[in-house]
Amino acid sequence: MKIGEVTAELGISVDTLRYYEKINLLTNIKRGAAGQREYTAADMARVRFIKRAQKMGFSLDDIASLLAFRDAPAQSKPMVRNMVAEKVTEINHQLQELSALRDELTALTAACEITEDNCPILDNFNKK
C-alpha cells in the first residue's frame, strides 16, 4: 500500500506515519522504484498496534518497548505485565483526581444556584 492509502485506512496523518519511521517504531519500510514507501500487511498491523497502545495511554517510548517485547512474548510476559500494572495504577490515580474535581465542580455549581450576589465558581478560580 502507498502512504496515502495507509493514512486513509488507519485515520492518521502522513506526518505521523513518517514520524513513526523516523523514531524507529516502523522499520525497514520498502520503497518502490520511484522511491515511494510501500507498506505491507505487517507494517499496517504494527501501526494498528501503535495506535491501540497510544489509546491505552502508553507513551511512544513505552510502545517501543512493547514492540520489542513482541519478538519474545513468553520471556517478556513479566515485564509487559509490570508495565500494564503501572499503567493501571496511573489510571486509578487519574480517576481519583477526576472524581475529586467532579465533586468540587458539582459543589460549586450548587453553591452558584443559591448565591445571589457573587459567583462562587469565579471566586473559587481566584483562590491560590
CB 124 within 8 A of CB 108: yes
Give the pLDDT of residue 118: 84
**Which residues does 91 contact at the CB level (< 8 Å), separation at least 6?**
57
Q: What is the C-alpha radius of gyration for the chain, rounded to an integer number of angstroms?
A: 23
Cell numbers given for 90: 496511573
The pLDDT tens digits of the residues spanning 32-85 come to: 888 889 999 999 999 999 999 999 999 999 999 999 999 888 899 999 999 999
CA distance 126 to 64: 42
The pLDDT tens digits of the residues spanning 1-43 come to: 999 999 999 999 999 999 999 999 999 899 988 888 999 999 9
For residue 93, is pLDDT > 90? yes
Give the pLDDT of residue 65: 95
